[in-house]
């Protein structure tokens, strides 16, 4: 995960602290202690805060820790109604969303931690969350293979008696396995969603009606996706340790020959890649793997530097 205002990369795990690195040199800048953060359980909250899902090693109790940039210990501890993993926050940092094991999504006010709303989005645990490119929608994926999206203003303004069904703009079955990552491309007439899954596919969907526009099949599970700055190409995080690159537009064949829909970069991690992030300030790609390694890639030359 990269910071929106500075070229900084944040990393987290169940076994160590949250660490901020310089996105160019890989030099550690600071550590934030006291959190055991699961997959997707890390989010920037505006420019002021860092949020982590936390699971206590002693009691298995769950909470959300909120840090500021000037202290290594949590500033606030949000109580949660159930264990949560994926987090996502609005750009203004006023609202934080957390996906629960029950399939419900919970909305919090920041920094108070007040729960504003909870709604059922999936039949199995929420596996990933993403705010749409224009900031208007909360898009979620589940272990049940479904994708749902809800207008954020409806979540924030929802009355306690409002049903989950009435909140949702769309919900559909997207994959045969857990949805691992989601991104969006917002346009005036043809906004799209791109999703990845343990079922070894990336799929592209029409946002308004959930129509499947394209399926790209890979030789392994895809654990994450990132889009380039102009949102024309995707990068896929392979569970085999490779990064795959392809075009969003099926008609575009730049860097891809007529018989394949993606290319595989030659260099690889020694274990499965679990996260990909594009650092907009440098146009570099950051990848993190299960063995704790982080690589920074120059996407034009595919040169990289690695650090732990």
What confidence score (pLDDT) does residue 153 get?
A: 92
Q: Which residue has the higher pLDDT, 111 or 163?
A: 111
Q: Do 226 and 277 touch, CB atoms closer than 8 A?
A: yes
| Predicted pLDDT of residue 2 | 47
Q: Is the pLDDT of residue 1 over 90?
A: no
Residue 82, Cβ density class (10 Å: 0-12 exposed, 13-18 middle, ≥19 buried):
middle
**Left, alpha or beta for 260 (phi > 0: left; psi -120 to 50: alpha)?**
beta
Dist. CA 168–CA 109, nearest whole Å: 20
Residue 278 has pLDDT above 80, yes or no: yes
Rounded average pLDDT over 233-239: 94
Q: The domain 8-173: what is its CATH number?
A: 2.130.10.10
Among 64-68, 244-248, 268-272, 280-284, the least confident range: 280-284
* C-alpha dist (Å) from residue 100 to 40, 179, 212: 12, 14, 27
What is the pLDDT at residue 281?
61
Give the pLDDT score at 10: 87
| Reported pTM | 0.89
Domain chopping of the chain, boundaries: 8-173
Q: Flag whether pLDDT at 253 surpasses 50.
A: no
Question: Which residue, chain included where needed, has tokens 């829909």?
Answer: 261
């Amino acid at each position: 995960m990269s910071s929106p205002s500075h070229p900084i990369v944040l990393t987290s795990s169940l076994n160590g602290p949250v660490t901020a690195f310089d996105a160019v040199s890989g030099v550690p800048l600071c550590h934030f202690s006291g959190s055991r953060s699961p997959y997707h359980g890390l989010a920037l909250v505006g420019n002021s805060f860092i949020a982590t899902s936390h699971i206590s090693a002693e009691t298995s109790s769950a909470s959300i820790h909120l840090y500021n940039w000037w202290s290594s210990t949590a500033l606030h501890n949000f109580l949660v109604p159930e264990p949560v993993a994926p987090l996502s926050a609005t750009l203004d940092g006023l609202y934080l969303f957390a996906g629960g094991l029950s399939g419900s999504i919970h909305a919090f006010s920041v920094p108070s931690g007040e729960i504003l709303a909870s709604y059922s989005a999936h039949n199995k645990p929420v596996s990933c969350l993403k705010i749409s490119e224009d900031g208007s929608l909360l898009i979620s994926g589940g272990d049940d293979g479904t994708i749902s999206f809800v207008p954020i203003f409806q979540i924030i303004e929802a009355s306690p008696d409002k049903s989950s069904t009435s909140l949702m703009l769309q919900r559909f079955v997207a994959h045969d396995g857990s949805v691992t990552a989601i991104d969006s491309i917002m346009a005036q007439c043809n906004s799209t969603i791109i999703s990845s899954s343990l079922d070894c596919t990336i799929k592209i969907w029409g946002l308004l009606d959930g129509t499947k526009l394209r399926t790209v099949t890979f030789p392994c599970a895809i654990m994450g996706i990132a889009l380039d700055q102009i949102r024309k190409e995707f990068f896929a995080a392979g569970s085999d340790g490779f990064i795959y690159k392809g075009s969003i537009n099926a008609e575009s064949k730049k860097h891809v020959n007529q018989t394949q829909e993606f290319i595989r970069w030659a260099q690889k991690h020694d274990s499965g890649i679990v996260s990909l992030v594009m650092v907009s300030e440098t146009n570099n790609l950051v990848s993190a793997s299960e063995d704790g390694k982080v690589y920074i890639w120059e996407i034009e030359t595919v040169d990289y530097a690695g650090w732990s």
